Amino acid sequence: MDIKGKTVVITGASRGIGADAARVFAQAGANLALLARSADSLAALAEEIGGNTLAFACDVSDPAAVAAALQQTHLAFGSLDVLINNAGVIDPIARIEDADPAAWGQLMDVNIKGVFNGIHAALPLMKSGSGGTIINIGSGAAYNALEGWSAYCASKAAVLMLTKALHLEEAENGIRVLSLSPGTVATDMQRAIKSSGINPVSQIDWKDHVPAEWPAKTLLWMCGPDADEFVGDEVSLRLDLVRRKVGLV
């Protein structure tokens, strides 16, 4: 896909992978809609990027707010071509016995219901045109249980199954569905993990985390035909093969 002039929605766009993805897609000439809870951070990023950029301060766990943002985006740009479900949280980091049920449920509201809300709002808009690409952000935590991460691991496993189910339902309707497992990335989330001191991930040296620009560039590559072999499944940025395809090594 030539992304120039295409409309790309990125959730969790105010920082980390989302913000770097916004920069990468803007440089490639995309029309952008950026969603996040932080209005100030979004406004600053939109001003930095310039061009055809819309900013929506909303919580992805609110289906009406997500649907309204995507409707306004479609109205403004005339299409919805790519949705990147990037918004996600790691807290609560706690053993199951000690976890606060409300915090555990809030993570599910963001990490899995938020992904569903984006997909549910995007599908009719994409299908009214020529289809589109939906990319969910996965994690190795979907495959490997980690102490203190019951909510996060469960949510990422659910996102992987949602990715596969969506592919089964919508591939024939022109919807490309993929997941990106980015590995450990040098973002604020990793700082929270580091400070928790729980499980081996918190012990990883900071220099061993990849920069947020790597998954951002991979997301752009995943929108094109070179990534078609991964449609309906997950792309792991840990794989040297993938890094070479993207041009990172």
> Nearest 5 degrees, angle CA 177-CA 180-CA 183?
170
* Measured torsion, CA atoms of residues 91, 93, 95, 100, in degrees rounded to the nearest 10: -30
85, β-bridge pairs: 136
Region class of 50: left (phi > 0), else alpha (psi between -120 and 50), else beta: left
- The whole-angstrom separation of Cα 46 and Cα 22 is 9
Q: How many other CB atoms are found less than 10 A from the CB of residue 147?
A: 14
Q: Which of 77, 116, 152, 230 is catalytic?
A: 152
Q: Is 152 a catalytic residue?
A: yes
Give residue 101's Cα distance to chain centre. Answer: 25
Token output for 146: 């980690």
Residues marked active site are found at 152
